[in-house]
Amino acid sequence: MSPVPAVNRTTMTLIAAVTALLAVTGVATLTAPDGSADTGGSAERRPVERSSLLCPVPSTVSDLADTTYTSFTPSTQGTGAAAPGSAELHAAQTASDTGSSDDAGQKGGDDDTADKDKDKDKDTGKGKDKADKGKQKEDGTDGKLVLSVKKPGKPTGADASGSDSPALIGSADGSLAPGWTVQQTTQIAAGEGRGLLGVNCSAPDTDFWFPGASTADSRSDYIHLTNPDDSAAVVDLDLYGKNGAIKSDVAEGIQVRPHQSLPVLLSTLTDRPETNLTVHVTARTGRVAAQFQGSDEEQGSDWMSAAAAPAGSLVLPGIPKDAKAVRLVAFAPGQEDADLNVKLATPTGSITPAGHETLHVKSGMTAAVDLGAVTRGEAGSLILTPSQESGGSVPVVAALRVVRGKEGAQESAFIPATPAVGQRATAADNRSKDSTFSLVAPGKSVRVRLTSSAGEDGGSPVSKTYTVKGGTTLSVRPPVPGKLKGTYAVTVERLSGGSVYAARMLERPENGIPMFTIQTVPDDRSTVRVPRANQDLSVLGQ
Query: Considering the chain, what is the average pLDDT of its residues?
Result: 85
Q: Which of 82-86, 125-129, 230-234, 487-491 has the lowest mean pLDDT?
A: 125-129
Helices assigned H by DSSP within 176-218: none
Top pLDDT among 32 and 319 is at 319
What stretch of H or E contains 23? helix 6-24
Check residue 526 and give left, alpha or beta (phi > 0: left; psi -120 to 50: alpha).
alpha
β-pairing verdict for 325-331 and 424-430 = unpaired
Place 94 in a pLDDT band, splitting at 50, 70 and 90.
confident
pLDDT, residue 422, reads: 92
pLDDT of 40 higher than 60 = no
pLDDT of 7 higher than 60 = no
Who's near 276: CB < 8 A, 6+ residues apart? Answer: 212, 213, 214, 241, 242, 327, 329, 366, 368
- The residues pairing with 188 across neighbouring beta strands, listed in sequence order, are 65, 195
Q: Is 271 exposed, middle or buried (0-12, 13-18, 19+ CB in 10 A)?
A: exposed
pLDDT of 453 higher than 80 = yes
pLDDT, residue 340, reads: 96
Q: Is 377 exposed, middle or buried (0-12, 13-18, 19+ CB in 10 A)?
A: exposed
Q: Is 465 exposed, middle or buried (0-12, 13-18, 19+ CB in 10 A)?
A: exposed
CA–CA distance, 48 with 46 (Å, rounded to integer):
6
pLDDT, residue 187, reads: 96
Who's near 132: CB < 8 A, 6+ residues apart? Answer: none
Report the predicted TM-score, pTM, of the whole model to 2 decimal places.
0.84
Q: Can you tell me the mean pLDDT for 262-269?
A: 96
pLDDT, residue 426, reads: 97
Query: In whole angstroms, how large is the CA radius of gyration of the chain?
Result: 25
